[in-house]
Amino acid sequence: MALTVQDLRARKGGEPITMLTAYDAPTAELIDEGGVDVILVGDSMGNVVLGYDSTLPVTVDEVASRTAAVARGVEEALVVADMPFLSYGTDRQTSIENAGRMLKEARADAIKLESGEHTVELTERLHQLGIPVMAHLGLTPQRINELGGYTQQGADPEAAQEIVDLARAHEEAGAFSLVLEHVPANLAATITEELEIPTIGIGAGPETDGQVLVFNDVVGLGEWSPPFAEQFGDVRAEMESAIDGYVDAVSDEEFPAEEHSRYADELDDLY
Ligand code: KIV
Ligand code: NA
């Protein structure tokens, strides 16, 4: 049986939740078969696969298309679509339509919003309508131009309190879980203890109810990854070696060989 948001809520304080990003069907299929609980079609696709230098240019169409591809590759994991910059939080009608597309058209199970004061009411409305919302506090990269850098958030008591209050407000509004990005580990621990919904951390220490990382960082595919990520493989080196191998084989006329080639007997008299 595929994982539901209720299953995820029930994991609070239990076996740690695993979550990874994916942006295409074959990768999502591998991640799903690997037993990962939640697959996030993150707007990190902007930096990671679409070649933008931030998440800001990512469109609703791009997330919808990638989410549909991921959903086609997944059987067990919960698929969460990440709402891109300015696709929500402006007017309510547009926010709901954009979020709705991810379930109606792209077959996501839930959506994620970078959260703030402006998403409390929207989270409640989406929850009422049947669109499960994963909240996201701490470092919210869509606000990079306000923040000035991808730095740790909530490091002083006032800023920490603000995050605690927003976390509570989003839980009350009906969010089924909360991503905490790049906050002090002790703040993440406090919020995890305060909330009844599971917290999922990235750069938030070991005491959240789950962990999330960007897939490309985990397998070592990116040129750069944040200091709080861990590389569990070296896929980039594998890819480089395969590309070199192909180029060399064609250049040296070793590929294609006899075993890759089929000749049609009927053509023997052609010339
Ligand atoms: O877009 C993304 O990949 C994310 C995760 C880092 C939580 O929002
Ligand atoms: Na994101």
Distance 104 CA to ligand 1 centre (A): 22
How far apart CA 215 and CA 260 sit, in angstroms, is: 34
> Which amino acid is it at 122?
L
Given this model, what pLDDT does residue 39 score? 99
- What's the token pair of residue 203? 């750069």
Q: What percent of the chain has pLDDT over 70?
A: 100
Residue 61 marked ligand-binding: no
Output the residue whose Cα is nearest ligand 1's atom 1: 42
pLDDT tens across 173-217, in order?
A: 999 999 999 999 999 999 999 999 999 999 999 999 999 999 999
Instruction: Name the class of domain 5-233.
Output: alpha beta
How far apart CA 194 and CA 196 sit, in angstroms, is: 7
The residues annotated with a catalytic role in the active site are 181
State whether the Cα torsion 10-11-14-15 is positive or negative.
Answer: positive
Count of all residues that appear for the chain in the document: 271
Pocket flag, ligand 1, residue 214 (CB < 6 Å): yes
pLDDT tens across 93-104, in order?
A: 999 999 999 999
Q: For residue 48, give the ligand 1 atom closest to its CA.
A: 3
Pocket flag, ligand 1, residue 48 (CB < 6 Å): no
Q: What angle do CA 253, 257, 260 make, to 5 degrees?
A: 135
Pocket flag, ligand 1, residue 209 (CB < 6 Å): no
3-class secondary-structure state, position 257: coil
